[in-house]
Structure 1
Amino acid sequence: MKLNDIEDSFSSIPEDEKVIIDTMAELYAERIKHHISQKEFSERINIKQPQLAKLEMLDSVPTLVTLNRYALGLGLKLKIGLVPA
């Protein structure tokens, strides 16, 4: 796969899903920064480890409820804001 292919596939993702992807990426980075294993974190937030792996690999799009559960497991809270369109 070439860089142009990746850019093309990313540009085809709806904007609202990009926000979810970016948020999931930030949460994943926080988990790694705190040296928390997937197994430990999945137990902490009561999600099966394979399901957590799918979320982190973006094989499935997380809901806001799931993103919030993930954030809370890291001692964080999601904040949704509004900006001019």
Structure 2
Amino acid sequence: MKLTDLETSFSSIPNDEKFIIDTMAKLYAERIKNNVSQQELAKRIGMKQPQLAKLEMLESVPTLKTLNRYAKGLGLKLEVGLVPI
């Protein structure tokens, strides 16, 4: 796949889904930065490790509630704001 194909593919994703993808990527980066294993985070948030792996691979689209659970497991809080368009 060429970079232009990837860019075209990404630009076709709805903005609300881009928000979820971006948020999940940031949460994943935080988990790695803090040396928290999937197993440990899953335990902290009451989820099974395979479920967490699917979220991180975006095999299932997480809800805001699930993103917030993930964030809380890392000692963070998810905030959603409004901006003019």
- TM-score normalised to the size of structure 2? 0.95
**Cα drift, residue 47 of structure 1:** 1.0
**Cα drift, residue 23 of structure 1:** 0.6
Which residue type is aligned with residue 24 of structure 1? M
Cα distance in 2, alignment partners of residues 54 and 39 from structure 1: 13
Deviation string for 1:30-70 (max 9, x for gaps)? 00000011111111111111111111111111100000000
Which residue type is aligned with residue 33 of structure 1? K
Unaligned runs of 5+ in 2: none
Cα distance in 2, alignment partners of residues 6 and 53 from structure 1: 23
**Cα drift, residue 71 of structure 1:** 0.5
Which residue type is aligned with residue 33 of structure 2? K
RMSD: 0.8
Percentage of pairs with the same residue: 75
Correspondence for 2:83: 83
Correspondence for 2:51: 51
Which residue type is aligned with residue 69 of structure 2? R
Unaligned runs of 5+ in 1: none
SS at match of 2:25: helix
- TM-score normalised to the size of structure 1? 0.95
Paired positions, count: 85
**Cα drift, residue 24 of structure 1:** 0.7
SS at match of 2:66: helix
Structure 1 consecutive aligned stretches of length 4 or more whose deviation exceeds 6 Å = none
Cα distance in 2, alignment partners of residues 29 and 84 from structure 1: 28
